């Protein structure tokens, strides 16, 4: 992609001080799951939406590649070669031919295995941070190409905003609508749900004729976004994985019911769950619904968020 690194290039290139990157969580406004493909992935038809819950990755110069962390998942999440931050740093280094040397520190607010793509977000943050630290100067599209090899949601988290995802989700194109800020309540559950397990459960439910009809095209959702009316958007939200998440975690039905009883316009499971997200009419309404949910025993924590927000960015 770029010229190979040479030792004499090392010092003048890249950032001398720490590089701090903020990266958002994602929800899916529409998650249409098509048939299982030969490569083991499902064909997706999705509308991604980046929301204002952020992880932060700081990259400093180092003699080896190391990762430390604080916040959500500390003590649970492995910080070794399996971590998506390390995998992303190595993928960038080998793609551009530089040594993968950095001291990385992750401050995590996105819950683990929550259906908010936290791991993918961290991979996107690592690509952007190491690109700046090493002075490799790749474009966002070049970074998104490396991102696609790390996970289906990673390219979207490089770009952010609201975007259409096709293929296994890695083919991303921005949704061009007049900017509207949508207000959400994010009900974080105790513990996570495994994404592959949720997909397998959907396959099982479909084979047994026990899943709802597939959502299909994103046309209704895209038209709803253009109308800029939260009531219209609420009616268009949908997630084919919701039946699977509810089968695996039946208590989520009570969470969804409580949000709607508290006045949310609609509630859906986010991605493969178990996080549930609720659309509110505005910021004050979202605060009120979050406070009400927090007083009930239906989630670990209810937070407010807005979207769309930018993808992985320095600063
Ligand atoms: P998605 O919505 O993309 O399916 P998710 O939000 O349900 O993902 P993640 O938090 O992205 O789940 O994590 C899924 C798994 O990825 C974790 O259980 C963990 O084993 C692995 N993982 C590797 N690196 C990370 C990371 N930096 N943060 C979170 N999970 C990571």
Name which of 90, 82, 86, 133 is nearest 106 in CA terms: 86
Decide which of 234 and 16 is more confident: 234
Pair 131, 276 in one domain: no
Q: Tell whether the torsion through CA atoms of 245, 218, 123 and 60 is positive or negative.
A: negative
As for ligand 1, residues whose beta carbon falls within 6 Å of it are 77, 83-85, 112-120, 122, 153, 195, 271-272
pLDDT at 1 over 90: no
pLDDT at 179 over 90: no
> Domain holding 207: CATH number?
3.30.70.890
| Domain membership flag for residue 50 | yes
| Domain membership flag for residue 10 | no
Nearest CA to ligand 1 atom 18: 113
Pair 86, 224 in one domain: no
Q: Average the pLDDT over 188-202 and give the result.
A: 96
pLDDT digits (tens, 9 = 90+) for 133-173: 999 999 999 999 999 999 999 999 999 999 999 999 999 99
Nearest CA to ligand 1 atom 16: 119
Which of 175, 203, 225 is the last residue before a domain boundary?
175
Distance in angstroms (rounded) separating the CA atoms of residues 91 and 20: 19
Q: Tell whether the torsion through CA atoms of 205, 209, 211 and 217 is positive or negative.
A: positive
Task: Compute the C-alpha angle 292/294/299, nearest 5°.
Answer: 125
Nearest CA to ligand 1 atom 15: 113
pLDDT digits (tens, 9 = 90+) for 72-100: 999 999 999 999 999 999 999 999 999 99
Pair 166, 231 in one domain: no
Task: Please give the distance, rounded to the nearest whole angstrom, from the Cα atom of residue 290 to the centre of ligand 1.
Answer: 25
Compute CA 32 distance to the chain's CA centroid, rounded to the nearest angstrom: 16
Which of 175, 202, 231 is the last residue before a domain boundary?
175
Task: Please give the distance, rounded to the nearest whole angstrom, from the Cα atom of residue 118 to the centre of ligand 1.
Answer: 6
Q: Known catalytic residues?
A: 26, 153
Pair 35, 103 in one domain: yes
**Ligand 1: which of 104, 111, 119 to mutate, most ligand atoms within 8 Å of CB?**
119
What is the DSSP code string of 97-152?
Answer: T----EEEEEEE-SPTTSSS-HHHHHHHHHHHHHHHHHT----HHHHHHHHHTT-T
**Ligand 1: which of 46, 49, 112 to mutate, most ligand atoms within 8 Å of CB?**
112
Which numbered atom of ligand 1 lies nearest the CA of 121? 11
Query: Cis before residue 308, ω within 30 degrees of 0?
Result: yes
């Amino acid at each position: 992609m770029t010229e190979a690194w040479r030792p004499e290039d090392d010092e003048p290139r890249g950032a001398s001080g720490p590089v701090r990157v903020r990266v958002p969580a994602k929800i899916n406004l529409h998650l249409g799951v098509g048939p299982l493909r030969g490569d083991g992935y499902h064909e997706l038809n999705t509308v991604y939406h980046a929301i204002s819950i952020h992880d932060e990755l700081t990259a400093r110069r180092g003699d080896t590649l190391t990762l430390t962390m604080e916040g959500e998942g500390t003590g649970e999440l492995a910080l070794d070669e399996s971590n998506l931050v390390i995998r992303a740093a190595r993928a960038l280094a080998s793609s551009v031919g530089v040594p993968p040397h950095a001291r990385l520190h992750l401050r995590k607010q996105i819950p683990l295995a929550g259906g908010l793509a936290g791991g993918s977000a961290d991979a996107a943050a690592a690509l952007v941070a190491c690109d700046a630290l090493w002075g490799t100067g790749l474009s966002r599209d070049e970074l998104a190409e490396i991102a696609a090899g790390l996970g289906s949601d990673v390219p979207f988290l490089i770009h952010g905003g609201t975007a259409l995802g096709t293929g296994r989700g890695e083919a991303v194109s921005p949704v061009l609508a007049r900017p509207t800020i949508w207000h959400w309540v994010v009900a974080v559950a105790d513990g996570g749900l495994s994404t592959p397990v949720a997909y397998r459960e959907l396959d099982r439910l479909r084979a047994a004729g026990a899943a709802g009809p597939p959502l299909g095209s994103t046309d209704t959702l895209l038209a709803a976004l253009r109308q800029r009316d939260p009531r219209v958007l609420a009616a268009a939200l949908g997630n084919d994985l919701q039946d699977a998440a509810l089968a695996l975690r039946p208590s989520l039905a009570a969470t969804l019911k409580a949000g709607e009883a508290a006045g949310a316009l609609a509630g859906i499971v986010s991605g493969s769950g178990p996080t549930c997200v609720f659309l509110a009419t505005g910021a004050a309404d979202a605060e009120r619904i979050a406070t009400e949910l927090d007083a009930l025993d239906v989630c670990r924590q209810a937070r407010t968020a807005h979207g769309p927000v930018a993808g992985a960015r320095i600063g």
